[in-house]
Structure 1
Amino acid sequence: MGKTVTTRVDEELSERIDEIAEEEGLDRSTVVRKFLADGTKNWLIEKSFEDYEAGRITLWQAADRCGLSLWEMIQEAGEREVHVPYTVDELEEDLGALE
C-alpha cells in the first residue's frame, strides 16, 4: 500500500492538473503521482550528473543510483547535452564492477 502525501497548490496549478487529467482520461491523483514520479526521476538524474561532472561518482555509479543501465545513462547524457568524459580508468572500474 502506498503512503499518503498531502500538499497545497495554488488555484492555477490545480486547474492545470484537472485539465491534464481530463485530457488524458485520468483522475487527478493519477496525474499528480505521474508528475511526482517523473519529477523525482528527473531530479535524481540531474543530481547524479552534477556529482559525476564534479568527480564525486563514476558514470556507472550515477547510472546505478538512478536505476538505469550504463547505456541508458549515456543516452540520458546525450539527450541532456551532458559532456561525458568517459576515461579508460572509468571503463576498467565499470567492467570490474560487472564481474
Structure 2
Amino acid sequence: MGVTLTTRVDERLAKLIDEIAKEEGMDRSTVMRRFLAKAVRDWLIEKSLKDYEEGKITLWQAAERCGLSLWEMIEEVRSRGVHIPYTLEDLKEDVEDL
C-alpha cells in the first residue's frame, strides 16, 4: 500500500498538470507520481555523480545507489559531462602496472 503525501502548488502549476493529465489520458495523481519519480531519480543521479566527481564514491557505487547498471551510469557521466576524478598519480600507477 502506498503512502499519501499532500502538498500545495500554485494555480498555474495545477492547471499545467491538469492539461498534461488530459493530454496523456491520465488522472492528476498518476501524472504527479510520474513527475515525482522522475525528479527523485534525476536528483539521485546528480547527487551520486557529484559524490563520484568529488572522489567520495566509486562509479560502481554511484550506479548501485541509483539502481542503474555500470554501463547506464557511464552513459550518464558522458551525457552530463561529468569530470572523471583521474589524477596524475592514478596515471602513474596505471603505467607502472602495465
Question: How far does the alpha carbon of each residue in 1:18-53 deviate from its partner, in whole angstroms, 9 at most, with x for none?
Answer: 010011111000000000000000000000011000
Between structure 1 and structure 2, the one with the greater Rg is 2
1:53 maps to 2:53? yes
Q: Which runs of 4+ in 1 moved over 6 A?
A: 86-89
* Range with bigger deviation, 72-81 or 24-33: 72-81
1:22 aligns with 2:22: yes
Give the aligned CA root-mean-square deviation in angstroms. 1.7
Counterparts of 1:1-99 in structure 2, within 5 Å, are 1-85=1-85
Gaps of 5+ in 2: 94-98
Q: CA deviation at 1:81?
A: 1.7
Which residue type is aligned with residue 4 of structure 2? T
CA distance in 2 between counterparts of 1:82 and 1:65 reads 17
Count of residue pairs the alignment pairs up: 89
Q: 8 Å contact 2:21–2:31 — kept in the other structure?
A: yes
Mean Cα displacement is larger for which, 35-44 or 70-79? Answer: 70-79
Q: Which amino acid aligns with 1:19?
A: E
Task: Specify every segment of 5 or more residues in structure 1 that has no aligned partner in the other structure, as ranges.
Answer: 90-99
Contact 2:55–2:85 (CA<8 Å) still a contact in 1? Answer: no
CA distance in 1, matches of 2:5, 2:79: 31
Give the CA deviation at 1:85.
4.4
TM-score (norm 1): 0.84
Amino acid at match of 2:75: Q
